Every structure is written in structure tokens, then in C-alpha cells.
Chain A
């Protein structure tokens, strides 16, 4: 596609349920990033992929959070047993290794009720 695509755009879930957030990066981009942004706050780094491997998982807030990337393309961020503090906008970005210009998706707004 022309840009980074994230789905769903909005997700409302009940506390304790699992959710999966999807990111389709720009074709050919080997680097993929996940961030979380709470209302009025900055971007919190979650995880970074280079190809299918994740050299940096340091930002994942707890073991309820996991992410994978398959085929060097699509990535899924999974949050298990969601809590209200997980409510935020989850942003995905991709870039080529030649240039650190990252292109962001529109995000998934997650609301845990």
C-alpha cells in the first residue's frame, strides 16, 4: 500500500479480554516500530523489529504485551488480559534501513472499559 496501515482504527474492549492490533508497513520497509501514546502524552516506545526479529523489546510494559512480525511485513501487537491503563493510541511506524525517516500509521485507539 501507499502508507502504513493499522487496524482496527478503534477498539473498545472489556477489561480482562485479549486484543490484537495489526500493522501493515510500507512495502519493502525492513524496520517496524510500535509506540503507545496516552492522551496528552508523548510517544512511549514499545518494540522495534528489523525484519522478523526484535532486537529491542525493552519498551514492552509487562509480560501481557507481545508482538510478532511475519514474512518481514505484517506485525501484530497482542495485549492479554487488558487493563484500563492500557487505554491509549497505539501507533505503528516503518522505515527502510537506508534512512531513519519513519512513516507512521493513523493508529489504533484502544479503550478498555
Chain B
């Protein structure tokens, strides 16, 4: 599985847009990029998944450049409740026998 690199922590204020970038230089052709969110004392929760260009849902947007060696999770107008750890994962989507390996993630702290 492709190794990922993300910032250890980020700070923001309520109402700001937050962009968390993940580097995955060795991404394979059939790999997808998936982001999870984890609140304290809870298991991670799927946020968004994409393969190329841009994906948007009600929670976030995911921007993937043409070379796919990085991706950016964008959280619009964050609130205090967005304080969490965000994990970037890279791996094949429709392949049985693939473990999901989480890195250390990015701890986002949102202040008022």
C-alpha cells in the first residue's frame, strides 16, 4: 500500500476553511484516496473518497491533482465540532484481501 504523509497537527478558528494535504508519491494506478475523521473516544468515520480531480459531499471536498501524488481535504467554514483527527488512506478499492492501514493522522484543533 502507498505510504502517506500528513501534517501532525493544524490549528484553525471557527468559520475558516481548512485544507489538509496528504502526500502519497507512490500511489498506484488502481489506488483510491480515502479520508476518515476520528473524534475522541470514538472509532473513525468515513468522510470522503476519490480517484482524481474533485469530489464533493455534504461534509467536505477532496482535491486530487492530475499526477495524484497528493490530495487535499477541504473543510469549509469549520466549527468547534470539527476538532478531530483526520486520516488519509491510499489503497485499491475493489480488491479483496487488502488491509486498511492508518497513519498517525492530522490533529485539527478549532478554536472560537
Contacts and interface: CB of A to CB of B under 8 A. Distances in A.
Interface of A: 4, 30-31, 33, 35, 42-43, 45, 48, 50, 55-56, 59, 91, 93, 95, 97-107
Contact of A43 (B32, B91, B96, B102): B102
Interface of B: 32, 34, 36, 42-46, 49, 85, 87, 89, 91-105
A43 B97 contact: no
Given A42-B105, A100-B91, A101-B34, A93 B99 contact: no
Chain B interface SS verdict (over half): loop
Contacts of A43: 44, 87, 102
Nearest to A99: B93
B97 A55 contact: yes
Given A42-B103, A42-B105, A56-B99, A103 B94 contact: no
A97 B96 contact: yes
A104 B43 contact: yes
A56 B1 CA distance: 13
A102 B99 contact: no
Given A4-B43, A107-B43, 17 more contacts: A33-B99, A42-B85, A42-B104, A43-B44, A45-B99, A45-B100, A50-B96, A50-B97, A56-B99, A97-B94, A97-B95, A100-B32, A100-B92, A101-B46, A102-B36, A102-B46, A106-B43
Nearest to B34: A100
A95 B99 CA distance: 11
Contact of A100 (B49, B87, B102, B105): B49
A57 B47 CA distance: 27
